[in-house]
Structure 1
Amino acid sequence: MHRLKIALVLDRFGSRFGGAEAYGVALARELARDHDITVFAREYDRGCDLQLPFVSLRVWSRWPGWIRVGLFAWRARQHTRHGFDIVHSHMNGWCGDIEVIHVTPVRYNWHVRQLPFLKRALSRVSLRVQTYLSLERRRVANRPAHRVVAVSGLIAEQLRQAYGDSLICPVIAPGVKRPRPVAADARTQVRRELGWSDRDRVCLLVARNPLRKGLPTILKALALLPPHYKLLVVGGRSLAQDFLRKINDAALSDRVRLIDTTSEVERYYTVADLYVHPTLNDSFGMAPLEAMSFGLPVILSPAPFCGFAQYVEPGHEALVLLHPEDAAQLAGFIAQLGDDPVLRAALIQGGYRVVDRHSWVDVARRYLELYDEVLAERVQVKSSP
């Protein structure tokens, strides 16, 4: 394949912003080895270690969210319609040759999922809902030289239910890479900074919105465990602080440390003993996959609450809860991992097997195959009478 000019369209570019953004950064890193990538986004993380040509698509922040999304989609289309071999979009809109869907489809939420009658009826006259539906409809519309990609089997199934079997949607799940070795004393040093010792059992949660990813359930579970079990939350610090304030339990809060969103998450994976992910809504779940790459045993929600659960063998590669709000079962799983070194070792090895099945090199290869298909179809369309 010759060197391609690729427009990569995202909301924000930087791993610290969330799973979809981290997916875009990791994919761009692989593609940029052999192709020219230009990023179109509202914001580019200055701390990102991958620096690419960037076009800012900022929209006035005081507009309502649905207007901002619509304006962003229109501006993205205007900026990318000429000068690129491939437009690869991770945003709602119609600019992409490749459209990657990371979240539950809008149509699934409003037309498939069970809703109260009044809420469904009002959605039909809501400019906000109708704007999102219109953007998504254009995004997934069947047309030559165009592909819709889901990041998990869960999203692909929701798209099928929302738009019918005619929507052919390949699944390209996120990848992960093995981390670089860290200094032998790094774990102890960071634990001291947090006020913890090597004897403490540290649970980790990495999330831009910790409440959605199960923080209330984790805290209930922590309250059922001995005091040497601690919780480290990375991301969404203000949300977590407000929640801790509301529960008003000083003894429990003292066992919790909150770190604001950071691009240096790796140092906190090395501090933890296990990763907890009782999420209420995750189309995939990149954080537990990354945790596995750092050798952490993982506890997570079942599908459909967590799409990543479809990619692991329960009991062998991760511990999967029956329900994300079952604090007693979560506490039991955490205690098992603290007391049973054989189970812990087995899950660590199982996690490494999952990591080996999710390579960013393979992810990039699959997208390049789709690019080939799109470019070939484009030639056919142009040559047809």
Structure 2
Amino acid sequence: MGDEEGSKLRVQSKMRLAFIKKRFSIYGGAEKYLQTLIQQLKNSNYEIHVFANQWSEEKGIAFHRVNIIPFTSFLSTLTFDRNSKVKIQKSKFDCVISFERTTCQDIYRAGEGCHAEWLKIRSTAERYYKRLSFKINPLHIYMLKLEKEIFTNTKLIVANSEMVKKQIIDYYAVPKENITVIYNGVDLKRFSPQNKEKWRKDVRDSLNISEDTKVLLFVGSGFKRKGLKTFINAIASINGHNLKALIIGKGNTDKYKAIAKKLGVLHHIMFLGIQKEIERFYASADLFVLPTLYDPFSNATLEAMASGIPVITTKNNGAAELIDNGCEGFVMHDMFDAHELAEKINTSLKNLNAMGGKAREKAEAFPIEVAAEKFVKAIETTQLTKII
């Protein structure tokens, strides 16, 4: 059947799509991508089903509960996969799209990257006994087995960076034509340089930060993976600037406060926890810093760029593919090198306006709506392949 016949069939009959997402919600900034994708599919007259363990009700979506055993990450992952497969097989769908590590989909969005690569990176930062646990921990053993099955058997894999695509090919010998790269998009209206006029002064006043203070912003939960220790060490190496570092996200703040206190920089750092209106803090900041150990594609990096502030991150962040060194920001090659980070911070602080303008310009090429459109096309292509 040709493309024209396939298109006619889509018009004549309402196509049924199944999405797999353990915790499903289209509310909040982190879910904007999924919200935009679902809305575009609704407008195209698709019948949408969601298989989840938890969800927020949404008109026009049929929900199906997938039970799990929640006591450990291993049991939760295993039972969600197995129970999703049982439920999916009871119904007929034109395309099954999974945002989780499951084995019953036509399309898998590899939003969490490659677990084998993450373990390799972690092994460079952990002590011997911890590295040994990677080989005997049931969760890691199962995750690697599951990952291999997913990447080997799924018809189409959607990676959110070229970095992740390469890792999947290198570890699992997946044909490159089975993987398509769709970068995460950003809400260009919500994250905008214009926000500085609305919120910069108010946010700084609420935190007792003067206008002549240079504000460095760190956004990310899981402080160890996001490289917070390297950031704090870098702050201790910066001289000649009146600095304040805002740390937003969830993690063991006591541990990192102790590190900062020992280095004599605790007075430069504010831990603000999780913030829902994160765009207000981008508006208050001068520079975004994320020396992450591993991020398939950091949404926060692109949000910062869209907000018109330069970014510094590492080569292990898929979003680094959008950054030309010295233009929109900098990319670190050694994620643990605090001196390298300090040098890049110093250089960036001398060129904030020019680099911030370039960051916004680059982000404008990645609107959230275009990312969703590309995903819709991937779904339609997969449907046609099944029909043929």
State the TM-score, normalizing by the size of structure 1.
Answer: 0.82
**Is 1:366 aligned to 2:374, yes or no?**
yes
1:223 maps to 236
**Is 1:163 aligned to 2:172, yes or no?**
yes
Change (3 A) 1:123 1:43: same
Find the aligned partners of 1:67 and 1:75 in 2 and give their Cα distance.
Answer: 12
2:306 maps to 293
2:254 maps to 241
Q: Which moved more, 1:162-171 or 1:277-286?
A: 162-171
Residue 348 (structure 1) aligned to one of 356, 363, 369: 356
Find the aligned partners of 1:70 and 1:18 in 2 and give their Cα distance.
Answer: 28
2:268 maps to 255
Q: CA deviation at 1:120?
A: 9.6
Q: CA deviation at 1:72?
A: 0.7
Q: Which moved more, 1:244-253 or 1:9-18?
A: 9-18
Find the aligned partners of 1:264 and 1:250 in 2 and give their Cα distance.
Answer: 31
Note the alpha carbon deviations across 1:131-182, whole angstroms, 9 max, x for none. 2233223322346xx3111111111111111221535211111111213454
**Is 1:78 aligned to 2:78, yes or no?**
no
Note the alpha carbon deviations across 1:39-80, whole angstroms, 9 max, x for none. 43344479xx99965544453332x21221010112222333
Note the alpha carbon deviations across 1:266-314, whole angstroms, 9 max, x for none. 111111111001111112222111101111111111x2x2222223221
Find the aligned partners of 1:330 and 1:263 in 2 and give their Cα distance.
Answer: 28
Residue 204 (structure 2) aligned to one of 184, 191, 203: 191
Q: Which moved more, 1:265-274 or 1:111-120?
A: 111-120
Find the aligned partners of 2:285 and 2:26 in 1 and give their Cα distance.
Answer: 20
State the TM-score, normalizing by the size of structure 2.
Answer: 0.81
Q: Does the 8 Å contact 1:150/1:169 carry over to 2? A: yes
| Unmatched tracts of structure 1, length 5 or more | 381-385
2:185 maps to 175
Change (3 A) 1:276 1:29: farther
RMSD between aligned residues? 3.5
The SS at the match of 1:232 is strand
Note the alpha carbon deviations across 1:333-377, whole angstroms, 9 max, x for none. 222333x2xx32221222123212212222222222222222122
1:61 maps to 70
Note the alpha carbon deviations across 1:167-226, whole angstroms, 9 max, x for none. 521111111121345483522111122221222111111101122212111111222335
The one-letter amino acid of 2:79's match is: L
The SS at the match of 1:267 is helix
Find the aligned partners of 2:248 and 2:130 in 1 and give their Cα distance.
Answer: 35
The one-letter amino acid of 2:183's match is: A
Note the alpha carbon deviations across 1:114-135, whole angstroms, 9 max, x for none. 9999999987776434422332
| Unmatched tracts of structure 2, length 5 or more | 1-9
Aligned pairs for 1:79-118 (under 5 A) are: 79-81=87-89, 82=91, 84-107=93-116
The SS at the match of 2:254 is helix
Considering fraction of residues, name the structure with more helix. 2
Note the alpha carbon deviations across 1:219-272, whole angstroms, 9 max, x for none. 112223357211111111x42333213553495223222222233211111111
The one-letter amino acid of 2:164's match is: I
The SS at the match of 1:325 is coil
Change (3 A) 1:12 1:254: farther
The one-letter amino acid of 2:249's match is: G
Q: Does the 8 Å contact 1:66/1:131 carry over to 2? A: yes
The SS at the match of 2:271 is strand
Change (3 A) 1:242 1:26: farther
The one-letter amino acid of 1:169's match is: I
Q: Does the 8 Å contact 2:214/2:241 carry over to 1? A: no
Change (3 A) 1:266 1:73: same
Change (3 A) 1:249 1:327: same
